[in-house]
């Protein structure tokens, strides 16, 4: 989550900075395997175990209105919010599965799978602004719920693992986790704000130019599936056509 939110907040520094980061991520070999092994399966595991724990625990908030008790309850509430947020968010931008039939017949017709990695900022901005203010509010709340869940979760994990056991140690750890949460929350809100404010047409022109330079410099392989023009057959609503792409023979010939 830290790496993901910092990467996304790089959009506040510029469309090119964010696009470079996404190019780096998408140049990793076996990306779908990495995604499933290190992101999706662990999150699904955490969600299943988390729901089981939340349903079997007993909150005593009605009897003891202590800060620790409130945090116990909020850990569960934010867990449920994070669950809904992550599954909706990954469907909204990533589409869950990359199979063409799934994307074309299920995800895209209902406004999901909106992120095009080689047009990162413009497709993100279009996705973010496709339902007025609704997606930005959803993202802001989702990000804050995830951040609380992580920061408070680290604190409770520290108790379970015996890292801070005395009341004093727990109080100190509380401050550290609070500071971490506030910082990561600001990073997440910066990302949400930057995605919402980006001008898609101007961003797309920059991205298309960056793609052209990379393909011509043999830094990446041409991949229309990762571009807005290629994926959506030129039907992207607010995007400009961008520069014409001349792919050298050596590149096209080798595939």
CA separation for the pair 187, 1 (Å, rounded): 11
DSSP annotation of 132 reads: T
CB of 62 to ligand HEM, least distance (A): 31
Nearer to ligand HEM by Cβ, of 79 and 242: the residue is: 79
Nearer to ligand HEM by Cβ, of 83 and 155: the residue is: 83
DSSP string, 36-84: IIIIIHHHHHHHHHHHHHHHH----TTT---HHHHHHHHHHHHHHHHHH
Nearer to ligand HEM by Cβ, of 31 and 66: the residue is: 31
How many other CB atoms are there within 10 angstroms of residue 102's CB atom? 14
CA separation for the pair 106, 112 (Å, rounded): 8
Q: Over the range 153-170, which residues count as b (16 or more CB within 10 Å of their CB) and which as e?
A: bebeebeeeeebeeeeee
Nearer to ligand HEM by Cβ, of 32 and 234: the residue is: 32
> Percentages helix, strand, coil for the chain, rounded to the nearest 5?
75, 0, 25
Nearer to ligand HEM by Cβ, of 103 and 191: the residue is: 191
Query: Residues interacting with ligand HEM, by CB under 6 A?
Result: 1, 4, 8, 35, 39, 43, 86, 89-90, 93-94, 115, 117, 124, 139, 142-143, 146, 188, 191-192, 195
CB of 232 to ligand HEM, least distance (A): 15
Nearer to ligand HEM by Cβ, of 116 and 229: the residue is: 116
CB of 142 to ligand HEM, least distance (A): 6
DSSP annotation of 104 reads: I
CB of 41 to ligand HEM, least distance (A): 11
Contact 186, 5 (CB under 8 A): no
CB of 159 to ligand HEM, least distance (A): 23
- Residue 178 contacts by C-beta under 8 Å, 6 or more apart in sequence? 151
CB of 193 to ligand HEM, least distance (A): 9
């Amino acid at each position: 989550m830290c790496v993901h939110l910092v990467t996304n907040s790089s959009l506040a520094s510029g469309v090119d900075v964010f696009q470079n980061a996404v190019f780096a991520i998408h140049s990793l070999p076996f990306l779908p395997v990495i995604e499933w092994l290190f992101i999706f399966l662990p999150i699904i595991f955490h969600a299943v175990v988390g729901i089981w724990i939340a349903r079997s625990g007993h909150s005593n908030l009605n009897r003891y209105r202590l800060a620790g008790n409130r945090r116990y309850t909020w850990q569960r509430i934010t867990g449920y919010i994070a669950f809904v947020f992550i599954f909706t968010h990954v469907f909204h931008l990533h589409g869950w599965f990359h199979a063409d039939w799934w994307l074309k017949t299920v995800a895209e017709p209902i406004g999901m799978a909106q992120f095009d990695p080689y047009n990162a900022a413009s497709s993100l901005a279009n996705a973010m602004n496709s339902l007025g203010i609704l997606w930005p509010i959803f993202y802001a709340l989702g990000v804050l719920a995830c951040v609380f869940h992580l920061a408070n979760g680290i604190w409770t994990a520290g108790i379970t693992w015996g890292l801070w056991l005395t009341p004093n140690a727990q109080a100190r750890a509380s401050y550290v986790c609070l500071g971490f949460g506030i910082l990561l929350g600001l990073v997440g809100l910066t990302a949400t704000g930057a995605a919402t404010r980006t001008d898609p047409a101007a961003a797309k022109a920059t991205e298309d130019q960056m793609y052209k330079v990379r393909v011509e410099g043999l830094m990446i392989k041409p991949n229309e599936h990762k571009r807005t023009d290629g994926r959506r057959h030129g039907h992207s609503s607010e995007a400009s056509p961008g520069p014409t792409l001349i792919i050298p023979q050596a590149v096209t010939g080798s595939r």
